[in-house]
Amino acid sequence: MNFWQMGKKKDKKTPVEGMEPTALEKLLAEKAALETDEEEEASTGPKNMKEAQEQIAEVNERLLRLIAEYDNFRKRSQRDKDEARLFANQNLIEKQIPILDNFEMALAAAQDADPAIRDGVQMIYDQFLSVLKEAGMEPIDSVGVPFDPNFHEAISQQETSEAEEGTVLEQVQRGYQLSGRLVRPARVVVAKAPVTVAEPADE
């Protein structure tokens, strides 16, 4: 053997092949093996008919729940759109109410005026009110009905025996509602039972 060949028959493993794996390499290898097992288990699907039926029932339940949630969302969106359409002009309509008040005061003051002027003011008032009614606004009729805090604002009470207590006797300012929503309550005078004074007892 030549001297330059001496020592070359040792273990031919490379330094990388001969090294023991580190703790990190072992951990990574175990994790990769575990993930592979889980993927294989998930890909195998149900093992029997019972598991398949349970999975189908679970999917159906989730599907029905999603359909119900979507249906509720669709109805809520449509309701919001309808409400926005109904009340889109509320701010503009509220600004027209004082004009109606002025027309009513003008009609009250024109009772003794020229009939042509009174009829002309009445015609304009009726036309204006008709336009607002087409937009969904309705006046609240209050006289003779029981007082309702949802629609009326009591400014005073009046003792009377001609009407039941709690009945609206007089409407000082007309109220209005828009598509069922109160815009302005009617300001009213409410009937009150008269106070009876006890007669003094005979001595």
Instruction: Give the tens place of pLDDT for each residue, 194-203.
Output: 877 555 655 5
Question: Which residue did the predictor score with more confidence, 126 or 32?
Answer: 126
pLDDT at 90: 84
- Phi and psi at 199, nearest 5°, equal -75, 140
pLDDT level of residue 130 (50, 70, 90 thresholds): very high
pLDDT at 45: 67
pLDDT at 114 over 80: yes
**164 Cβ partners below 8 Å, 6+ apart?**
146, 191
pLDDT at 175 over 90: yes
Six-digit token pair at 16? 């990388």
pLDDT at 199: 58
Half-sphere exposure of 82 (CA within 13 A, CB side): 7
pLDDT at 4: 44
**d(Cα 47, Cα 41) in Å, to the nearest integer?**
10
Pairing, β 175-178 against β 181-184: antiparallel
pLDDT at 38: 59
pLDDT at 14 over 50: no
pLDDT at 51: 83
pLDDT at 170: 92
The percentage of residues in the chain with a pLDDT greater than 70, rounded to a whole number, is 80
Output the average pLDDT for the chain: 81
Six-digit token pair at 71? 């249906």
Residues composing the chain:
203
Helix axes 115-134 and 90-109, enclosed angle (nearest 10): 160
**d(Cα 104, Cα 88) in Å, to the nearest integer?**
26
Six-digit token pair at 186? 């009617």
Q: For the residues 94-98, what does the mean pLDDT come to?
A: 90
Q: How much is the CA Rg of the chain, to the nearest whole Å?
A: 44
- Phi and psi at 94, nearest 5°, equal -60, -35
**d(Cα 195, Cα 114) in Å, to the nearest integer?**
45
**184 Cβ partners below 8 Å, 6+ apart?**
94, 97, 175, 176
pLDDT level of residue 182 (50, 70, 90 thresholds): very high
Q: Measured in whole angstroms, how far is the alpha carbon of residue 82 from the centre of its chain?
A: 11
pLDDT in tens, 51-77: 888 888 888 999 999 999 999 988 888
